Amino acid sequence: MDSDSVFASVVRAPEDPILGVTVAYNKDTSPNKLNLGVGAYRTEEGKPLVLNVVRKAEQHLVNDKSQIKEYLPIVGLADFNKLSAKLIFGADSPAIQQNRVTTVQCLSGTGSLRVGAEFLAKHYHQRTIYIPTPTWGNHPKIFNLAGLSVKTYRYYDPATRGLNFQGLLEDLGAAPSGAIVLLHACAHNPTGVDPTLAQWEQIRQLMRSKGLLPFFDSAYQGFASGNLDADAQPVRTFVADGGECLAAQSYAKNMGLYGERVGALSIVCKTQDVASRVESQLKLVIRPMYSNPPIHGASIVATILKDSNMYNEWTVELKAMADRIISMRQQLYDALSAKGTPGDWSHIIKQIGMFTFTGLNSEQVAFMTKEYHIYMTSDGRISMAGLSSRTVPHLTDAIHAAVTRFG
Ligand code: PGU
C-alpha cells in the first residue's frame, strides 16, 4: 500500500522542460519522429557525433600506460585548467600572464555555473544576479539554489525577433551597484540573438561604470561563428580592461563531450594574491559537493588542446558542425519561402548558434508534436543541429500547417 511508505506524501514533479522533451520523444513509436528539443549536435543522418579528434585522443590515452585513475586534485587536472583559460581568454591574455586567473575543472557548464554561484553566495557582497529574459531554463534554478537572489533584465524583443538593446541598457543601468550579471558569451540560448561587438562595448562600459560583476556562460564557443577566437571576443574585451569577471565553460557542444561532463570555471581577479585566495575558497565549495572531478573527459580535452595537430583537427571539425547548422538555417528558410508559409521567417537566417527561436507559440508546438511527431521546447525553440536536409521538408510542412491553423 502506498500509504505505508514513509515517502507517501511525495508529489510527482513535472519533467524538465528541456530534457523532458527527449523523454517524450523516446516514447514515440512513429518512424517520422524528430527531436529538435535538446541542444545536441546530430549529423546529416540524424545521428549523434563523436568527433574523430576525440576518438584519436581517447586512443592515445588508452595506449599511454602512464595514464592512471587516481583521484584528481579538488580543482581538477592542472593542464586542462591552464589550457581552458587560454582557450577562452586568449593565449596572450595579460590576466593569465599575470597569474590573476584561477581556473577549476567542474562538471560541464552546469557544474561550473553552480560552483561559481555557490562561491559568490558565500563570498561576494552583492547577492543579486541579473539574468536575461528569456534565458536557458536552468539558470534561475542554479542561482536560486545557490542562495542568490535572481532578477531579470530585458534582452529579447518578440516584435523584432532581435535584441531589445534599449531595454537591456535601462535594466542594467537601474541595477544596484555591484550586482552580478549573467551574460551569454555567444550564441544566446534560446534566442540565437547576440549583441554586436559595438553593443558589447557599450554594455561593458555601463557595467564597469556601475561596478556590475560579469558572469559569462560560455556553452557554445565556436558554435556561433565556427571560430573559437571570434566567439570569445566579448569575454576578452571585458578581461582586457583589467576588471574582474567569472566565466563558466562547457565542452559539451564544441567537443561533443556532452556525457563526459567536462567544463571549467575561471575567476579573473585583480591580483595574483586575490586569485590564489579565491581558489582556496573554491576548493571548500567543491570538496563537500563532489570532492573532485572525473578524469577522463578532462584528459581528452587536455590531450587535444596541447597538441597543435589535434587542436587544428578539432577546429576543422568544429567549423564543419557550425557550417552544417548555418546551412540548415538557409534550407529551412528557403523551404518556408518556397511554400509561401505566412509570416516573415528571415530571423531563421539572422539568428546564430544552435537554436532558432521560431516565434511559434505553445499551442502551435503542441500541434506539431501531436500531428507531426516533431519534438521541441514549448517556447518555440528548435535545435537547428537536430535538423538535416532529409527532415527539412517534414518540419516545413509542420510549421506551415501550425501557422495556417493557429495563425
Ligand atoms: N549554459 C547554456 C546557455 C546552455 O544552453 C547549456 C546547455 C548549459 C549551460 C549547460 O550545458 P552542460 O551540458 O552542463 O555543459 N543547454 C542545452 C542542453 C540541455 C540542457 O538543458 O542541459 C539546451 O538544450 O538548452
The residue whose CA has the least distance to atom 18 of ligand 1 is 39
Does the beta carbon of 377 sit less than 6 angstroms from any atom of ligand 1? no
Virtual torsion, Cα 48, 113, 215, 276, nearest 10 deg: -120
Nearest atom in ligand 1 to the alpha carbon of residue 110 is 14
CATH of domain 16-50+322-402: 3.90.1150.10
Q: Which fold does the domain 71-306 belong to in CATH?
A: Aspartate Aminotransferase; domain 2 (3.40.640)
pTM: 0.97
Ligand 1 mutation pick, 19, 138, 221, 379, max ligand atoms within 8 A of CB: 138
For residue 109, report the distance from its CA to the centre of ligand 1, in Å: 7
100 touches 199 (CB < 8 A): no
> Taking Cα atoms as reference points, which of 101, 72, 62, 36 lies closest to residue 267?
101
- Whether 314 is catalytic is no
> Taking Cα atoms as reference points, which of 101, 27, 33, 36 lies closest to residue 377?
36
Q: How many residues does the chain have?
A: 407
Does the beta carbon of 136 sit less than 6 angstroms from any atom of ligand 1? yes
Domains 16-50+322-402 and 71-306 share a fold: no
Cis peptide leading into residue 190 (ω within 30°): yes
Per-residue pLDDT of the chain (407 residues), as tens digits, is 677 999 999 999 999 999 999 999 999 999 999 999 999 999 999 999 999 999 999 999 999 999 999 999 999 999 999 999 999 999 999 999 999 999 999 999 999 999 999 999 999 999 999 999 999 999 999 999 999 999 999 999 999 999 999 999 999 999 999 999 999 999 999 999 999 999 999 999 999 999 999 999 999 999 999 999 999 999 999 999 999 999 999 999 999 999 999 999 999 999 999 999 999 999 999 999 999 999 999 999 999 999 999 999 999 999 999 999 999 999 999 999 999 999 999 999 999 999 999 999 999 999 999 999 999 999 999 999 999 999 999 999 999 999 999 87
Does the beta carbon of 195 sit less than 6 angstroms from any atom of ligand 1? no
For residue 252, report the distance from its CA to the centre of ligand 1, in Å: 8
Does the beta carbon of 250 sit less than 6 angstroms from any atom of ligand 1? yes
The residue whose CA has the least distance to atom 9 of ligand 1 is 109
Long-range contacts of 243-247 (CB under 8 A, 24+ apart): 243/208, 243/214, 243/268, 244/213, 244/268, 244/269, 244/270, 245/213, 245/214, 245/215, 245/216, 246/116, 246/120, 246/213, 246/214, 246/215, 246/216, 247/88, 247/89, 247/185, 247/215, 247/216, 247/218
For residue 8, report the distance from its CA to the centre of ligand 1, in Å: 33
- Whether 379 is catalytic is no
Nearest atom in ligand 1 to the alpha carbon of residue 107 is 14
pLDDT (0 to 100) of residue 1:
66
Residue with cell 509542420: 398
Q: What is the DSSP letter of 205?
A: H
For residue 200, report the distance from its CA to the centre of ligand 1, in Å: 23
Question: What's the gap between Cα 20 and its chain centre?
Answer: 18
Does the beta carbon of 110 sit less than 6 angstroms from any atom of ligand 1? yes
Alpha-carbon span 381 to 393, nearest angstrom: 18
User: Taking CA 92 as the corner, what is the angle to CA 88 and CA 93, rounded to the nearest 5 degrees?
Assistant: 60
Tell me which amino acid residue 353 is: G
The residue whose CA has the least distance to atom 19 of ligand 1 is 38
Residue 302: CB atoms within 10 A of its CB come to 23
Q: Where are the domains of the chain?
A: 16-50+322-402, 71-306
Does the beta carbon of 109 sit less than 6 angstroms from any atom of ligand 1? yes
| Phi-psi map region of 291: left, alpha, beta (phi>0 left; psi -120 to 50 alpha) | left
pLDDT (0 to 100) of residue 2:
73
Give the helix/strand (H/E) hosting 181: strand 180-184
Quote the strand ranges of 46-179, DSSP E.
Answer: 101-107, 128-133, 149-154, 156-157, 162-163
Q: What is the DSSP letter of 226?
A: S
First to last CA, the chain: 49
Does the beta carbon of 39 sit less than 6 angstroms from any atom of ligand 1? yes
Question: What's the gap between Cα 375 and its chain centre?
Answer: 20
258 touches 223 (CB < 8 A): no
Residue 103, SS3 per DSSP:
strand
264 touches 80 (CB < 8 A): yes
Nearest atom in ligand 1 to the alpha carbon of residue 383 is 24
Nearest atom in ligand 1 to the alpha carbon of residue 37 is 24
Quote the strand ranges of 197-300, DSSP E.
Answer: 213-218, 245-250, 262-268
Question: What's the gap between Cα 59 and its chain centre?
Answer: 28
Tell me which amino acid residue 188 is: H
Residue with cell 589550457: 83
